[in-house]
Structures are given as C-alpha cells and as structure tokens.
C-alpha cells in the first residue's frame, strides 16, 4: 500500500462511472502489486520512475480537436475517436455497418452484457501486470468491437486516441471479439496534439475464435515528451489467424506488450514491429507467444533504427507447452544503430517443453553496412542518399507486412 500512496500517477486517478465489479476486483488486486523497478526482470531496461513521478490530470469532458494530422486521408475506414480518454461522438463516424456491433465503454457493459461477460476482462493480466490492473481499475472509456459469425468487414475500423492537453492521463480500454469465420482489420492510432507530459495506458483484449482472422495495425505517433503504455492481450482458437503490426513513429516513452495465447490448433500468429527513434526516445517491445496446442506457426519480425541518444528494448518470449507438438516459431530482431550514444537491448527467450518443434530466433544489432554504402556511392548515389536508401530498404521489410496500402504509405511518409 505504501507505493500506492507515494506515487503521483495513482494519486491523480479516480474511479469514474459505474461501480463495476471488474473495476473493484482489479482495484483490490492493484493494492497487492508493486510498480516495477530496474530489478523487475521484465522492466530491466525500462524505468517507469519518471512516469510515476509526474502530476497528471484526468479529463472528464470531451474536447474538440483538429484531427487532420492523425487521419489517414486516403484510407477508407470506419472511424472511432477518443480524445483524452473520452469517446468523441463529434469526431467519430455516425453510421457503422449493421453487420457488426461497435459501442463504447462503459456503455457496452450495460447494453451488451450477454455478449461481453464471457470475454471482457477475462484475459487481461490484472494479477501480474500492474499497468493492466491500473487500466482496469480506472479506465474512463474505450471501444467494443464485435464481429458476428461469418461477417467479413471490407473496410478497416480506425480507432484514434489523442491527448490534447498537457499532463493528461488516459486509461483506455478496448475489446475486440471476432466470432468464427469472421474477419476484421483494426487500425489503432495513438497520438497527441500540442500536448506534453501525458500518459496513455491502453489495454486491448482480443478474441479470435475458430477460423477467424484479425489484424491490428498499431500506429504510435505521440509528440516528444509523451508516454505510452500499450498492451495487447489476445486469445486464439482453432484455425484462426492473428496479426499485430506495431509501428512506432515517435513519442518519448513507449512500452508495448503483445501477449498471445494460442489455444487452438492450426493457428497462425504474427507479430511485427518497426521503431525509428531519434532524440531521447525510448521504445520497449515485449512479446509473448504461448503455444498451448499443436500444429501452429508463429512469426515475429521486429526491426529498429536508433539515432541520437535513443534507446530500445526487444524481449520476445516463445513458450511451447508439452502438448504443443509440431509448432513452428520464428523470431527475428534486427537493429541499426546510427549513433555512438544510442543503445539497444535485445533478448529472445525460448521455453520449449514439447520435443517435436521447429523454433528459431536471431538478433542482430550493428552499424550500417559500410560496404553497401560505398557500393552505392561508387555508382553515383551520394552518401546521405545511400544511407537513406538503406534505411528505407531495412524498414520496408516490416512495412510490407501492413496490408492496407494507404496506411503503409502514410506511415512511410511520416518516417521520412
């Protein structure tokens, strides 16, 4: 309890909305948890001290904002906007397809309780992840997406979260349920607009049922001086496919947790990430794939380019349980360091308890391939242009995983 009273983050939070059972339970769990220190294994290279010490305000009214910089103009999508943690009716689309259910939290908990009670907060790691417990205890609003059986959504759903005042703390919550044979692509943007010292703490629970297909493209483009913690907790059933692409464009502190329980056979799980950091930016990507059933494949490709005093962390864990035979798990993390003062900490972890599996992992961190730079120069491409060309080529391997072309080009443009 001592910790709770001492830090400004929790002092600035108050529970909003109805006295939800889930919130109360999480709050009880939170009391027994401690914030991580450098001694906490999963947070060894990412200090949360600065984040906890800041004074925050919790916004209770919806603000209007010019969102043009965060929209992807060419992308045709169903748009849902949250501002400072609050749902903005004004900025969101009015009409959503009848074939799906799209609602906001906490409203959805009343309206669609029968659909939600088997999923909401059932896989969130309130017991072990303190920021998840904080989110569950204090989340203001969020979005619930329900894709019924056999519904294939042709347009993506673009969920935009933006902080617009200084020192805002936003706990936002998302639940995505894809019923059997359904398909959906969700784009989640996290941004700030003329704001500094904000903290966004987002938790997304995803249920990918039998033969369903879910893609989440996360675009993180907060301004310098802002902090983002982004957790995705997914659960897959038989023959399903789940992909998370995490593209970190900017923001000073970004921690991504992607945890996938593959609880079905013949599943495909894919996690890709790209981080291009400058200044004092810190990006930490933690992934965990838990193979519980046989005959599945998981792919991971995380790539980063670090400039100036940027720091990066990659920690990818693959667990293959005893009964999960015939698993193929591939993991790669590649980094280019462009400055003496930039650092990268990469750690792949494999825990394999089954005997008939194919797993590989590899991590590389280095400077530019000077031979390649010289080769390009010798053909008449100036040194700077050569380096840009090589960075672009390096990043393209991850960007190519984003299937929405308009989105891919938009991110590519932002990265230049």
Partner 1 sequence: MDKEIKKMLEVKNLHASVGDKEILKGLNLEVKAGEVHAIMGPNGSGKSTLSAVLAGREEYEVTEGEVSYLGKELLELNPEERSWEGIFLAFQYPVEIPGVSNINFLKTAINERQKYFGKDPVAAKEFLKMVKEKSALVELSDKLKNRSVNVGFSGGEKKRNEIFQMAMLEPKLSILDETDSGLDIDALRIVAHGVNTLKSKDNASIVITHYQRLLDYIVPDFVHVLYDGRIIKTGGKELALELEEKGYDWLTKENA
The contact set with partner 1 (CB under 8 A) reads 369, 371-372, 374-383, 385, 389-390, 392-394, 396-397
Q: What gap in Å lies between CA 38 and CA 42, rounded to an integer?
A: 9
Tokens of 346: 């990469």
CB of 7 to partner 1, least distance (A): 44
CB of 411 to partner 1, least distance (A): 16
Q: What gap in Å lies between CA 341 and CA 215, rounded to an integer?
A: 35
CB of 306 to partner 1, least distance (A): 18
Exposed/middle/buried for residue 133 (C-beta within 10 Å: 0-12, 13-18, 19+): buried
Q: What gap in Å lies between CA 382 and CA 369, rounded to an integer?
A: 15
- Report the residue number, 4 or 376, with the smaller CB distance to partner 1: 376
Contacts of 19 (CB under 8 A, 6+ apart): none
CB of 212 to partner 1, least distance (A): 32
CA distances (Å), 187 to each of 75, 215, 334, in order?
10, 8, 24
CB of 384 to partner 1, least distance (A): 10
CB of 391 to partner 1, least distance (A): 10
- Report the residue number, 35 or 302, with the smaller CB distance to partner 1: 302
Task: Note whether 398 and 285 are within 8 A (CB).
Answer: no
- Report the residue number, 215 or 399, with the smaller CB distance to partner 1: 399
Please choose, from the candidates 240, 260, 215, the residue with its C-alpha nearest in 3D space to the C-alpha of residue 77: 215
- Report the residue number, 55 or 377, with the smaller CB distance to partner 1: 377
- Report the residue number, 40 or 364, with the smaller CB distance to partner 1: 364
Contacts of 186 (CB under 8 A, 6+ apart): 145, 156, 157, 158, 159, 176, 214, 215, 216, 217
CB of 185 to partner 1, least distance (A): 25
- Report the residue number, 28 or 392, with the smaller CB distance to partner 1: 392
DSSP string, 296-360: -EEEEEEEEEE-TT-EEEEEEEEEE-TT--SEEEEEEEEEEE-STT-EEEEEEEEEE--SSEEEE
- Report the residue number, 110 or 369, with the smaller CB distance to partner 1: 369
């Amino acid at each position: 309890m001592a910790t709770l009273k001492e830090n400004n983050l929790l002092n600035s939070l108050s529970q909003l909305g109805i006295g939800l059972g889930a919130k109360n339970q999480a709050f009880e769990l939170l009391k027994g948890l401690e914030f991580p220190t450098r001694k906490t294994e999963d947070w060894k290279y990412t200090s949360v001290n600065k984040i906890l010490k800041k004074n925050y305000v919790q916004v209770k009214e919806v603000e209007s904002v010019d969102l043009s910089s965060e929209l992807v103009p060419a992308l045709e999508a169903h748009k849902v906007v949250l501002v400072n943690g609050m749902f903005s009716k004004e900025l969101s689309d009015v009409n959503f397809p009848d074939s799906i259910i799209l609602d906001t939290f906490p409203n959805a908990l009343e309206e669609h309780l029968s659909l939600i009670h088997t999923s909401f907060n059932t896989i969130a790691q309130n017991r072990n992840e303190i920021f998840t417990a904080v989110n569950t205890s204090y989340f203001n609003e969020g979005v619930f997406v329900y894709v019924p059986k056999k519904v294939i959504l042709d347009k993506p759903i673009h969920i935009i979260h933006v902080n617009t005042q200084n020192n805002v703390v936003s706990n936002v919550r998302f639940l995505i349920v894809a019923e059997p044979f359904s398909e959906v692509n969700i784009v989640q943007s996290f941004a700030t607009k003329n704001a500094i010292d904000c903290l966004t703490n987002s938790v997304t629970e995803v249920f990918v049922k039998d033969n369903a297909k879910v893609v989440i493209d996360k675009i993180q483009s907060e301004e310098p001086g802002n902090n983002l913690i982004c957790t995705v907790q997914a659960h897959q059933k038989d023959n399903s496919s789940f992909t998370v692409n995490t593209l970190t464009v900017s923001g000073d502190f970004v921690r991504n947790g992607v945890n996938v329980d593959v609880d079905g056979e013949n599943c495909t799980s894919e996690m890709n990430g790209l981080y291009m950091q400058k200044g004092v930016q810190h990006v930490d990507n933690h992934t965990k794939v838990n193979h519980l059933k046989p005959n599945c494949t998981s792919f991971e490709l995380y790539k980063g380019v670090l400039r100036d005093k940027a720091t990066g962390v990659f920690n990818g864990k693959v667990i293959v349980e005893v009964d999960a035979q015939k698993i193929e798990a591939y993991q790669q993390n590649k980094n280019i360091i462009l400055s003496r003062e930039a650092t990268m900490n990469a750690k792949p972890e494999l825990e394999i308890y089954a005997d008939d599996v194919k797993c590989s992992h590899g991590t590389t961190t280095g400077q530019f391939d000077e031979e390649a730079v010289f080769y390009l120069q010798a053909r008449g491409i100036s040194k700077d242009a050569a380096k840009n060309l090589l960075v672009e080529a390096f990043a393209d391997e991850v960007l190519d995983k984003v299937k929405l072309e308009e989105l891919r080009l938009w991110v590519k443009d932002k990265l230049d």
